[in-house]
Structure 1
Amino acid sequence: MIQAPTSGTPPAPPSSNQSSVAMIARQAIVNSQHVVVGYELFNRSRSAAAHTAATDVILVFTALSHAGTEELVGKKLIFVNCTHESLSGGHLELVDPDKVVLEIPPLGHAAAEEVTTRLPILTELRDRGFHLAFNHTVLQSGYAPWLPLADYIKLDLSVLAPDQLAVLISYAGRHCKAELIAEKVETAQQYDMVSSQGVQLFQGYWFARPALVETKLLTPSQASIIELINQVRKQASTDDIEEVLKKDAGLAFNLMRLINSTGFGLSREITSFRQAVMLMGLKKLFRWAALLLTASRNSGMPSSVGHTAVVRGRLMELLALETQPPEDADQAFVVGIFSLLDVMLSMPMESAIGLLNVPEPVAAALLRREGFLGDLLTLAEACESSDDAVFDRSAGLLHLTSQQINFAHLQALAWADHITE
């Protein structure tokens, strides 16, 4: 038997440039039956940057594509504090608007012309399906052009006296169709007061304090993100863009997780990088990559774990092409590159792949080494460990010769080394 070459030492624990932890606080917004209808999100990471035009949308992406042990928002609405700069950046085109409530800040002592100037972008966002929330200042005469756009109006009980609240609630009921949210509700007396006046949504310590949720993010290398941006800017072919995704497990994971999330709004499951690229389109792909670059603080060579995942993906793809159609080879690459997600994310594989909604053959391969893809993955692992018995058994099941496997493995190693130079 010709022994398959090894790929070096076994994978080491993930380095700090592979996965990072984000702390997000969420506070429930409940209805009169105390059923949660949505969550307001706050960035509580110690390394969080100042509130800029991109941080609002990055927070939404984290909520939609996080890798955690629980659902951060599930199917509830996401309430996100925005800046007016973030509303015009175009990044919001990357999310399904039906799930997101944009909390629009007041303009201070704004002149009427400034309110009018910002009206078109607010109108466009609402026309696209986003929900808009304002604080009580939208009920002032100076903000009259904005009032018809309000889906929600927040009434801050910490700054509004009971008599002011009564006037505002009455005025809102007569002049708009917005749902009122009483926020900073801290006592039963406050709840009884506003609910008796017709307010039906509530937020505050009386119901729930903001709860911290730790989310794990698989961070691509800056070099891979920049390469993706460059390929998109020159309108490269789908094949070329797909090659960029194939060489960085973090980049691939982030894209597949996002595009298959409920927040992206697709009705069918996306199972290959090619599908993801084609469905997202170059414009959205560019904006997504730009946001990743904004959020990324890492650089340098990929870790040994990421490199091993890339080698596995390429090896399995090449071997699948020996006997299978190209679409099956695409799935083989996906299995290989995601086969170390449990190590990268420090969580069980079942939880990790659950975040991607992978098709059953992929899940069976990753979890139980079942099926054609499972046999390929077992063979790829045997190539790394030089386990002769497993190598021979897997090769026999796949009807592959040692020469075919050795040649494909050498090609995969050379390809991975070349693309990560």
Structure 2
Amino acid sequence: MSNAALITREPVINKQYKITANRLVVHAASVAQAVEVLDGLADVWPAAHPVFVSLYKLVPTPDLLEWIAPSNAMIEIPTQSIGHPLTLQLLPQLQANGVSLNLTWYQPDTVLPPNVPWRFVIIDAKRQPLPADPPGLSLAWGLPDVPSFKDAVIQGYDGASGWFFLRGIKTDGKLAPSHAQIVRLMNLVRKNAEVKDIETVLKQDVALSYKLLRYINSAGFGLMCEIQSFRHAVTILGYEKLNKWLSVLLVSASRDPSAPALMQTAIARGRFMEKIGAAFFEKGELDNLFITGAFSMLHLLLGASLQSALDEMHLPAGIADALLGGDGVYAPFLKLACALEGFDAKNLTAQAEALHLSAEQINRAHLEALAFADSLQFG
């Protein structure tokens, strides 16, 4: 596993706090190895948004041309390698192939090759202010929290790349009435209450009913028929599967400006845990893995402490143990999902080796989870 190439990610956020691109960072020993990994993921490539592809510390070389890049892929060229002969040889060939190019770690004194149309320019906002005339759409990187993103937008940045939206949000309140209503629904479903009793609660909020059916009928779920009502959903899915979709409903109930990015991240975590856990758990338990991942950000989404949010629910012990104590059977899978959201390939490798998972298993589940989260169209 130590020599295997793994992919981590960070999101690209626009001024409306929505994820508009996924930035994949390939931790490989060589460009040829990165190409091999990317080639093997063509069938699970997330297609809903642009995908930035970073080779991390590697110098981009013509070996990259062996990869048939999907139409939504954008190759990142770091300024540190912009003058390298092999990178200069690569650039016109990528342009000839119609591949979009992004420039990373741009500084005002960077000498750029002529006639290269840069789509996005990633700037380390910790080290310098926004340059006067960046050669593409400017993205701030390294922002510490949500307030710093607001400042970056005021400065003129077009967006940002990173996980800043996980920090700087108050989580000391109580569940809002709309959130409590969904929790009530979840508890009724978990208790196998009568369908008419659950329908009565749903009828009190038509918007909730609409959103629930929209998620269930989403492309990511892959049903053979369209669900027309809650009663129909119970017939087709059963109560256990409905808990999963009610968890999606709760995650998507926030009205915070940062919510769209948080929602997508939460669902990507849950879907990854569900996919990667299929080799370890019985089918009936996979929904619990999904809920664990999705609820790992519940305090940020609902503005309430995780303890107070979970106190209102009757969740299986395994979910609560993982979320509140970081232990139990689901905890290693949550740690693995979180390790995908950073640049620390060593930590990701350690988490994977603890579960005896291969890089291929992790990379495929990772990209499948991104595609699934994108399909739900939050916001």
Shared fold (TM-score, shorter chain, > 0.5): no
Greater Rg, structure 1 or structure 2? 1
The normalised TM-score by structure 2 is 0.42
The normalised TM-score by structure 1 is 0.38
